[in-house]
Amino acid sequence: MSKPTKEQLWEQRTEWPLAAVAVAFLAMYSVQVLTRPQGEEARVLWMASWIAWSLFAIDYFVRLSLAADRRQWFRLHLFDLLVVALPLMRPLRLLRLVVLVGVLQKAIGNAVRGRILTYTIAAVVLLIYVASLAILDTERDQPGATINTFGQAVWWSITTVTTIGYGHLYPITVTGRVIAVLLMIGGITLVGVVTASLASWIVQRVAETGVENQAATAAHIDELRCEIRRLAEELRQRP
């Protein structure tokens, strides 16, 4: 068994702490969107959310510094760089939620690996909730907006992720449409992951059954050989 690299050790040690930070970030973002605090409370939440976000940026640079081949790692993780850097621009701040979903999905996926139903329910609930917050934050108070309440946002997210889309609720901003595209892609990807996991489980079970049958057949053959040798020995001993 090969020794884990420094990057792998770092990821193992920071996986759950980063997941806790992601949950805290989601809680703060939920308060900001749903209650719309003002004054000192708003400033405290704003500062706390960016402190939490800075930890994700630190994690990116630490993993880059620990990589054996930094150039290759940088090329393979360009998307990670984008979602860390682009939210610094206000119009793209909602891309922070992409990293949030990724961190929580990784932690949840490792915790419930092999439990397809549990993983699916957790991933769908997280995806719909985050998308609902994002679309409400983007569309609310825009002239002509059709999504102005959290209930409407949740309903829109459900119909979008299932690709039903009744049409009476829809985003009118560019950012809102980007969220819709990401939500649809996320839903399709989730279905693909679940389908692949289920197919892999079925193949594994069939392979295990085949191995068990082969072992049983080999045992029966060995038993028959022993019986034949015993009978042959008895025949040779008869006068």
Q: Residue 231 domain-assigned?
A: no
DSSP 162: T
Q: Residue 166 domain-assigned?
A: yes
Q: What is the pLDDT of residue 126?
A: 82
Q: Residue 133 domain-assigned?
A: yes
Per the document, the length of the chain is 239
Q: Residue 214 domain-assigned?
A: no
Q: Residue 227 domain-assigned?
A: no
Q: Residue 52 domain-assigned?
A: yes
Burial class (CB in 10 A: 0-12, 13-18, 19+), 109: middle
The span from the first CA to the last CA of the chain, in angstroms, equals 60
Residue 129 sits in which domain range?
6-207
Residue 159 is part of a domain; what is its CATH number? 1.10.287.70
Q: Can you read off the two tokens belonging to residue 48?
A: 């706390």
Q: What is the pLDDT of residue 172?
A: 93
Q: What is the mean pLDDT of each run of 10 residues along the chain (239 residues)?
A: 77 80 83 90 89 84 90 85 61 50 57 59 82 91 92 93 81 90 83 72 68 62 72 66
Q: Residue 125 domain-assigned?
A: yes
Q: What is the pLDDT of residue 89?
A: 44
Half-sphere exposure of 230 (CA within 13 A, CB side): 6
When divided into structural domains, the chain yields a total of: 1
Q: Residue 29 domain-assigned?
A: yes
Q: What is the pLDDT of residue 111?
A: 52
